[in-house]
Structure 1
Amino acid sequence: MTRLYNFCAGPAALPVPVLAQAQADLLNWQNKGLSVMEMSHRSPEFVGIAKKAEQDLRDLMVIPDNYSVLFMQGGASSQFTMIPMNLLRGKKTADYINTGQWSKKAIAEAKRFCTVNVAASTEGNHFTSAPSQEELNLNPEAAYVHYTPNETIGGVQFDYIPETNGVPLVADYSSAILSEEIDVSRFAMIYAGAQKNIGPAGLCIVIIRDDLLGDVVEGTPTMFDYKVMADNDSMYNTPPSYGWYLAGLVFAWLKEQGGVKAIAEVNQRKAKKLYSFIDTNPFYANPVAINNRSSMNVPFTLVNSDLDKAFLAASEKAGLLNLAGHRSVGGMRASIYNAVEEKAVDALIAFMDEFAKENG
């Protein structure tokens, strides 16, 4: 079997040991005679899978006891609507920091429920940086402050956690969760779509402080109420059970690698190699401010965009998959999540060097 190097932004690469374990378990999980996909989510077997997955995530992120961990359907985009439904709590306005396409989508959904104060925006520089703390025009009366620590499309990453002076801070960590250590207690809520650093698409992790559960906007559907989900251990209805199981395998794998601190060192090494190559080769360029460069999503351009199609065709032939930039911005993008091994980045750099020599 040949495994190629996958740089997709999501659904993204999964660790090979996780895929191998899932393959071994597929028809007959732990000799129970059935697949996890066929298992009742109320069964002792699946409840055990679910509890272990949650505990492993709590261990990896050092999640305080006064936070609930929810395993939900609908991806991160559903949270764009659920956040104002659950966190306005009688207030009429919320602060949003606009640093890219996912921030904009979150803002558009929040406007359905409240007045949105865009506390800062880098749209004027085509989302090539994140605003500094001093540039944030925060409203002390806001229900919460929302931001995207890592913008997957633009490859822009905050180099600090915003200080909100007591206003609940909400973060869309979809493309950066588990890639580096963070202090969960700084946040009121963290959410992340699974399909980048956690598991397959369709699952979303929500980590929310318990005092923010309940008191939802009138008319909020039962399935969109975080308290209902917390009170029912994320099983008010049938959860995305197979995705939950696979996420649990990823968490266990990450523990085996030494945890978040260990994988962060690998991630920084991968990113440093790739950015260093781009910066020292005039055939390529990265538009993002140096202090805001993402360690997960590395966009780059060729000196001659007419060569883009040839680059993508040649890279795929070389076994380097999914390097096209997002359709909204073009160019190239290498997503180097936890499961993308360092040797994949080395192979990419070698290919880029050869392509530049042949076409420069």
Structure 2
Amino acid sequence: MAATVVVAGLSARVLAESARQAGWQVIALDLFGDADTRRAGLRWHRIGDPGTCTIEPALLRHALHLAAGERGAIGWVAGSGFEAAPELLQARIPGLPFLGMAGAALRAVREPASFFGRLDRLGLPHPEVAFEPPASPEGWLAKSAAGCGGWHIRPAREGASGPPVYWQRVHPGEPMSALFLADGAQARLVALNRLIVRPLGALPYVYAGAVGPVHDAALARELEQALAALVPAFGLRGLASLDFLAHAGRAWLLEINARPSATMALHGDTWPDGLLQAHVQALAGALPAAAPAHPAGVRGCLTVFAGRECRVGLSLAAELAQSPACHDLPPPGLRFGPGEPVCTVSAAAADEDAVLAGLEARARGVLRRLSPCEELVA
């Protein structure tokens, strides 16, 4: 009988599909219950409110206790959404161990003074930070260490969306991330990715997608050197990502997401059994012996956000379900408010520009078909 893995997060689809790639059975816990998430798993449980985009502790614990009774259950993996409640990762669920970063490492990378203080001691560059409001807010951002996906970032004059708050000076550069595996002492760089970060309503820096792999040998060497210092300094283990700004040939570090990140969707065939299995093995201290293998070309993914109140009609839902380039599939009739994610589109091509063009075309195609479509042309 195949082992069973539980995957949990705001959206668990990418984790669930990676677990299936490893030959595991899957129980998926998230907020949306999209059609492809349910298709990848034995069962799905809602663990929070998609309207508020938060995980509810009682629902999570109940679902984990139910999953612990599943024959062959080996543990649970957390994706995004736990930044605001890291204590949920430390909850003891008999028969279902947590397959993720240890609590001390999580606290060290999420606590701004600890993280940026360590960067300074290691001599690693980062945008200027402050832990008290700057005298003049112009040119500064307010951030919450409990946020993810850029939803917590505000201009300093407005304040961040929740504690703990720190301030970071606006810095030039292109947002990127380094997806990596770590065993507590060493790191294996999986890929560099260019992040698609855009304004959404009043929010200036919302994560909308990614393109990769980015082939930049000098930048890759710099990130490998940074990870060689960061992994033992924090005791990092498993699959994680390091966000940074690429500017003038250098990487200015922003944060570590000490969990499997959304960019893993671009690199599912890097190793034959997928990145979730590599994550579990890295937690146990084993990094892949082989170098990551990337197919020719570039891949990308882009979240399609609703422009206004809308819904998914029957014909559009059927078309999305049949398209290999559409993911996080909503059921027919589901309604969305302005700025809410409708689905994800993907594209592959020979270069980044062609991928971005393909993503934009597919996103516009979805928006045009939303009801009422005549008012939603991007």
When normalised by structure 2's length, the TM-score is 0.31
TM-score of the superposition, structure 1-length normalised?
A: 0.32
Greater per-residue helix proportion? 1
Higher strand share: 2
